[in-house]
Chains A and B, each alone.
Chain A
C-alpha cells in the first residue's frame, strides 16, 4: 500500500504455543519479562 506502511511484527516461531493471557504489573506475581 502506498499510504499505509504496516509494521511487520517480529513473531515468535510458529511452533510455540499461544502466549499466556497474563496481563501486566500485578506486583506480587512478578511476571518475568520473558514470558511465553
Chain B
C-alpha cells in the first residue's frame, strides 16, 4: 500500500484534493504517503492526520485543534486502507471531527514581553569541545572573563520592564558559567529583591560542562534552587574525544565525579538534567541514552547540533530517536519517555492544547545578554553585530519589531500539519542552511515532524492505557 515507506513511521493526510461538487458528498479522498511526502502536499492538507507505526500502532491528530484520538478498526481502514466512502457512519464521524471547533484551545498569540533571558556570564571556557558553536573555544571570538555586574543589573531591569507576572527563566550560559559563580549569585539575588513586588517566579537555569563543581558552587546552586543542565555527550569513550580539556585530556571522569555531587543535593535544586549534542561525528543517540538513563536525573536532552547540515546525520538521528522512544516507553511508559525533553515538550503541548507560533520566542519572549552587555535574539547569534538588538544604552526598536510577527506566519508553514506544535522552527538553523531565517531547512522540518508524529503515537497509547485502567478500577 505504501509506495515509498519510511522506516518506522508513515502518515496519512486526509485531503479534499479530489473533491467533485457533483457528488454532493463529503469532499475528501485519501492520499497515502510517507512522512517525507507530506511536505509536498501543501495545498491539500486537511485537518486530520493519520499516523501509523510499522509495529501496528496508529493514532489520529487534528492539526488545528491539537486533539489526539484512537481509531476503531473501521476508522483505521477508512484512513489507512483507502476504504473511504464518506457516507458511511465512520466517514461522517471523521468529517464531524475535522470540522469541529474547540473552545478550550488556547490562542497562540502571547504578549510581547520577555520571559527568557540567557546571560553569557563569561565568554571563556576551560574545555575545548570539538564542536563548540561559541567561536570554537567558548569566547564567540571575543573573550570576556566576567560580565560587568554593575552594567548588567540595570539592563535586566529594563528588559523585564513589561513583564509583570508569570515565570521568568534566567539561563546562565557561557563560555563556562561556573567560572564566575559569584556573578550568578549576585544576579539571582538582585532579581529576587528588585522584583519582589511583582507576581514573578524566577527560575535560574545553569548549563555547565560540570567540571568545576565544589562546595562553594553547590551552595550557590542550592541557594538559588537552580535547574542544572550538565553537558555530556555519552560514554567516556565518546565524551572524552568530543569534550576534552584544554590540555587535550578527557573530561569525563571529572564530570561524572561532579555529577554525583549534584545528585547528592538534587532535592535542594530545582532540577538536574543531562544534555548531549549529536552531529555527523556522533550519531549514537541510542547508546548515549542507554548510558545517561542510568543516572537518577530529572531530564535528558538529546539535541541535533544547530550547526549540522548533513542530511544523512539528520536521518540517522531520527531513526535513533525512534529507537530511544521505543526503549524508554518499554522501560517505564509515559514517565520514562517524558524524561527525554523532546517528548516531554510535545506531551505538554498536547495536554495544554496550546498552539505555538514561535519555535523559541527569540527576539520576542527570549533575548540573550552577552558578556559584553550586548543584546541578541538568541544564543547562536551572539557576536553577529548584524543581529544585535541593543546594548547597555538601550534596545533597538526597529530590530526588535522584526521579531514580533510569528515565525510560523513568516515561514512557509501554513499548510504544514505540524505547524502549531512546531512554531515555525529555529531561525538560526534555517539561516545556517538556506541563508534566510524564513526559508526553512527541510531536514529540520523532517526531524521535527518525525519527533511530533512519534510523540502523538505514544501519547495516544499511554493515555488510552490509562483510561482503560481507570475504567477497570
Measured in the bound complex, the distance between the Cα atoms of B205 and A4 in whole Å is 42
Q: Are A7 and B464 in contact (CB under 8 A)?
A: yes
Category for how many chain B residues contact A:
35 or more
Interface residue SS majority, chain A: loop
- Does chain A have a CB within 8 A of B315? no
Question: Which of B231, B356, B364 counts the most chain A CB atoms within 10 A?
Answer: B356
In the assembled complex, the Cα of A12 lies from the Cα of B115 at a distance in Å of 19
Specify which chain A residues have a CB less than 8 angstroms from the CB of B207 in the assembled complex: 27-30
- In the complex, A5 Cα to B206 Cα: how many Å? 42
Cα A33 to Cα B341 in complex, Å, equals 7
Chain A, Cβ-Cβ closest to B208: A30
Within 8 A of A (CB), among B344-366: 344-345, 348-354, 356-361, 364-366
Contacts A27-B277, A36-B166 known; A5 to B70 CB distance under 8 Å? yes
Distance in angstroms between the alpha carbons of A33 and B96 in the assembled complex: 35
Which one of A9, A11, A22 contacts B365 once the chains associate, using CB atoms below 8 Å?
Answer: A22
Given the known inter-chain contacts A2-B72, A10-B351, please indicate yes or no for A28 contacting B118, CB distance below 8 A. yes
Task: State the main secondary structure of chain B at its contact with A.
Answer: mixed
Q: Are B166 and A17 in contact (CB under 8 A)?
A: yes
CB <8 Å contact, A32 and B203 = yes
CA gap between A34 and B227 in the complex, in Å: 10
A21-B365 contact, Cβ under 8 Å, with A1-B93, A4-B97, A7-B68: yes
CB of A18 within 8 A of CB of B426, answer no
Which single residue of chain B is at the shortest CB-CB distance from A36? B167
A30 to chain B: closest CB distance in Å? Answer: 4
B299 touches A33 (CB 8 A): yes
Closest CB in chain B relative to A31 CB, distance in Å: 6
Instruction: State whether B169 touches A35 (Cβ < 8 A).
Output: yes
Flag if B70 contacts A7 (CB, 8 Å): yes
Query: Does B298 belong to the interface (CB within 8 Å)?
Result: yes
If A18-B110, A34-B271 touch, does A6 touch B342 (CB 8 Å cutoff)?
no
B361 contacts across to A, CB distance below 8 A: 20-23
Q: Which residue of chain A lies nearest to B461 when distances are taken between CB atoms in the complex?
A: A7
How far, in whole Å, are A28 and B123 apart by their CA atoms in the complex?
A: 13
A30 contacts B205, C-beta separation under 8 Å: yes
Stretch at the interface among B19-27, B32-40, B101-109, B432-440: B101-109
Q: A29-B171, A30-B229, A35-B167 are in contact. Are A1 and B357 (CB under 8 A)?
A: no
Instruction: In the A-B complex, list the 3 residue pairs whose CB atoms are closest, starting with the nearest.
Output: A23-B359, A3-B75, A28-B173
Complex A-B: 10 CB contacts under 8 Å: A3-B71, A3-B72, A11-B352, A21-B361, A22-B115, A27-B306, A29-B171, A29-B173, A29-B205, A33-B271
Known: A3-B90, A20-B365. 9 other contacts (CB 8 A): A6-B97, A7-B463, A7-B464, A9-B350, A28-B171, A29-B171, A29-B207, A30-B171, A31-B205
